[in-house]
Structure 1
Amino acid sequence: MGEDLQKILITEEQIDSRLAELAAQIDKDYEGKDILVVGVLKGAVMVMADLVRKIHTPLTMDWMAVSSYGSGTKSSGVVRILKDLETDLEGRHVLIVEDIIDSGLTLSWLKSNLESRGPASVQIATLLRKPEAATVDIHVEYVGFDIANEFVVGYGLDYAEKYRNLPFIGTLAPHVYGG
């Protein structure tokens, strides 16, 4: 993969340290509450696994898969649920965990969908956010890193289903995606 990568943006150590900080804040904010942590497949697998291991507050986990990308790199704005939650949200404190927020369209739709199911609260945690790419205003309680509007891979993020296993966040060389 060496020639495919242009640069490393965020190291494995930086990710680990920032997730520990976010977990400490989540523990403080949810003290005395039970959390349902909802991971968004597939990208959030790494973030969710590492984040929940650092949280000391009682929690349960569930997963959703939604699609708004198709085969491209831009959100279509049309969201489909590919795998729904198995957990009833009524009265629960829900924490959505995302890998990255680009336009915010998918996450905005997802948050509204989950709020319609009667939870006590719905909050959002994301490893990465691209403020320049936002097309909708969505409040995100826990942000790991704000990054520039460039295509990134690693730590769960992919290009054509590859590079998810990299332990860091990096950018691809233009020859990989024809950029």
Structure 2
Amino acid sequence: MVKLHDLEFEPYISEEEIMQVIDQISETLNKDFGNKNPVFLGVLNGSFMFASEIIKRFNSDCEISFVKMGSYEGTETTGNVKTLLGLNQDLKGRQVILLEDIVDTGNTLVEIDQILKQAEVEDYKVVTLFFKPDAYKKDIPVQYKGMDIPNEFIVGFGLDYDGLGRNLTQVYKRK
């Protein structure tokens, strides 16, 4: 058990399982983008651990950048996505690999889709470690999914509850 603020969480996905999924995603990304010098675009804060692991396993030239988005208060999404830190490099005509820790409602993807269209990227693909099919209600394709999970609140491996839990190496679900 882990207690963060006022809530208890129980073990859900082990670090070993997470690393196996990351190895599988990385193998596919190396095949699909190995000679294209893509820009990996991590969505902060949650994707920092996932992004680090993916990029360490990418065997060709690449660049990395980050955007910071926010939509959660406590355990609930506000439905209102804010750009807290925007793009800091020119992505016009580039292949972008968007790295998300989790895709649930898809509201963040809609906001990032607009940002990338304005940036005139050649193309982008969405890669997520965790995907909640029951919560996802948008039309933006998610090409690379690590694990489908139920619509439960999770923490660890970059995901937080009001700022706590991001440093946990495995994933916990709300008890």
* Offset at residue 107 of structure 1 (A): 1.1
* Offset at residue 60 of structure 1 (A): 0.7
- Identify the residue that residue 142 of structure 1 maps to in structure 2: 144
* Structure 1 range deviating more: 149-158 or 4-13: 4-13
Superposition RMSD in Å:
1.6
SS in 2 for 1:8: strand
* Offset at residue 55 of structure 1 (A): 1.1
2:151 partner letter: N
Correspondence 1:54 to 2:61: no
TM-score of the pair, normalised by structure 1: 0.89
- Identify the residue that residue 81 of structure 1 maps to in structure 2: 83
SS in 2 for 1:67: strand
- Identify the residue that residue 176 of structure 1 maps to in structure 2: none
CA contact (8 A) 1:115 1:122 kept: no
Q: How does 1:2-21 map to 2 (within 5 A)?
A: 2=2, 5-21=8-24
1:62 partner letter: S
* Offset at residue 112 of structure 1 (A): 2.8
- Identify the residue that residue 117 of structure 1 maps to in structure 2: 119
Structure number with the higher strand fraction is 2
CA contact (8 A) 1:102 1:133 kept: yes
* Offset at residue 81 of structure 1 (A): 1.3
What is the CA deviation profile of residues 49-93 of structure 1, one whole-angstrom value per residue up to 9, with x for unaligned ones? 111101112111111011222x24333332221111111011111
CA–CA distance in 1 between the matches of 2:154 and 2:9? 10
What is the CA deviation profile of residues 118-161 of structure 1, one whole-angstrom value per residue up to 9, with x for unaligned ones? 11111111100110111213211111100000000000000111
* Offset at residue 5 of structure 1 (A): 4.7
- Identify the residue that residue 31 of structure 1 maps to in structure 2: 34
2:51 partner letter: M
Which residue, out of 99, 102, 108, partners 1:100? Answer: 102
CA–CA distance in 2 between the matches of 1:20 and 1:54? 8
1:50 partner letter: E
TM-score of the pair, normalised by structure 2: 0.91
SS in 2 for 1:76: strand
Which residue, out of 152, 163, 166, partners 1:164? Answer: 166
* Offset at residue 100 of structure 1 (A): 0.5
Alignment: residue pair count: 172
Structure 2 unmatched runs, 5+? none
2:55 partner letter: V
CA contact (8 A) 1:115 1:121 kept: no
* Structure 1 range deviating more: 8-17 or 124-133: 8-17
Structure 1 unmatched runs, 5+? 174-179
- Percent identity of the aligned residues? 34
CA–CA distance in 1 between the matches of 2:99 and 2:93? 19
